[in-house]
Amino acid sequence: MAYTPSKILLCAGLITLALMSLRIETSHAALDPILLEPLLKQGTLPPEEADGSFRYWSRRKKYFLVIAVNQTDVPKTELPFAQVDGQRVVNALTGLEYQALDPAHPLLTGKDATRTAIVASISKARVKEEEATIVVYYTGHGAVGAKDLWLQTAGQDDLGDAQGVAVSDLIGHIRRTASGNAFEGELILILDACYSGQGTVSQGLTLGELGKRTTILTSSTDIQESFSLNPPDVPEQVSAFTHTLLQGLGPDWAQADGDGDGMLRWEELKLYIAKQLRQFKGLGALAQPMRPSLLTNYSEGFLTYQRDRVRVWRSNYRDDLTTPEMEKNLAAQLQKLSVSPIDTPTLPLTLLKDAQRLAQQFDPAPENYYAQAVKATAEGQFDKARALFARPKHSLRSERPKPRP
């Protein structure tokens, strides 16, 4: 798929970034058995106001930028199917209620996919709110340089190292600015290019520049090419990686959502894509193996939540999202509990009922004392809540909420 006349392999990746990949959590086993039929079809799915995952997802702003480089100015480097893949990704993300990061250019392709245009579009990420998710998808040629993966762009007269946009620059234009104003929310890069795994070990990035909530999902490792699928295996030529990604979002959702909780997390999607690519290789549809790579320092992130696809209600990830949703309503009450063992906190009835709706469908793990304490607070069991707050904290959410300014 990629043309890289000067491919330079690194002897060693950025060790700290590589170690970060060890933090990727395996798919949590569901606390309830996975059911064949979605709960909605059974009439047993709780209402939206009692669904912590839905409330988190629906209030979160979600943006995308799709870059499909189907041509450069270098002869014999055309990728006609990249433009098709790009438009399909735009359609898929729009269907998942993502908005265009740059409304004037939701899809940068053809002669518009220049370095200048890409930088201009991603610069709009800096002004987005912290509680937002931004997905940047790139498909095209990849070239391994001395310290980075270079994503090739339109308008080049040569391909290779130091041509196009480096992955570190792509992240840097979003995460850092001279004035200090930069996007601090969740950032996801999806890279469909040869040797794209090199983007997960870029020496051009420090941990600080990467940000607190960044995920990079790639079509292949740093030493593998990326391939297309061709008829008769598929109706028309498409990228193997992007094809399987979109299948996971659509007809193969039940396979991709490993624990059936309706949240399609990045690690689940990576595992699904890897399995599908192995099957294509076994069928002879791919000339060489392809293995997607994933780097994240925010394993709580997910691509989408679909209530109509939930097959199991209780999961560790759902619990971890429900707790902060309850905290938003109980923040003042939780602060009073932490400083006054005598006073009985009061809360506006509307907020209290809101928290109680979540608590009714919330059953935290026995060792998660903090989440249990939040639930007890919502139920008005203040003595129990204080006792639980005093217990050792084994939850990921080990700190009590601080007052908002």
- Which of 309, 326, 352 terminates a domain? The answer is 309
Block means of pLDDT (10 residues each) for the chain, 405 residues, are 39 35 38 74 92 93 97 91 97 97 96 96 90 96 93 94 93 78 91 95 74 93 96 95 97 94 96 98 96 92 95 86 87 71 64 84 87 89 87 50 39
In a domain, 371, yes or no: yes
In a domain, 194, yes or no: yes
Residues 6+ apart with CB under 8 A from 313: 32, 39, 45, 46, 261, 361
* Same domain? 83 vs 199: yes
Identify the pLDDT of residue 354.
Answer: 84
CB 171 within 8 A of CB 205: yes
Q: Kindly report the pTM of this predicted structure.
A: 0.84
- Indicate the burial class of 297 (C-beta count within 10 angstroms; 0-12, 13-18, 19 or more): middle
Residues 6+ apart with CB under 8 A from 146: 8, 10, 161
What CATH number has the domain bearing residue 222? 3.40.50.1460
* Same domain? 96 vs 50: yes
Identify the pLDDT of residue 256.
Answer: 96
* Same domain? 368 vs 281: no
* Same domain? 305 vs 329: no
* Same domain? 264 vs 320: no
* Same domain? 287 vs 335: no
Nearest alpha carbon to residue 146 among 166, 174, 164: 166
- What domain count does the chain have? 2
What residues are paired with 78 via a beta bridge? none
* Same domain? 220 vs 367: no
* Same domain? 90 vs 137: yes
What residues are paired with 304 via a beta bridge? 264
* Same domain? 187 vs 50: yes
* Same domain? 354 vs 273: no
- Residue 167 structural domain: 15-309
In a domain, 398, yes or no: no
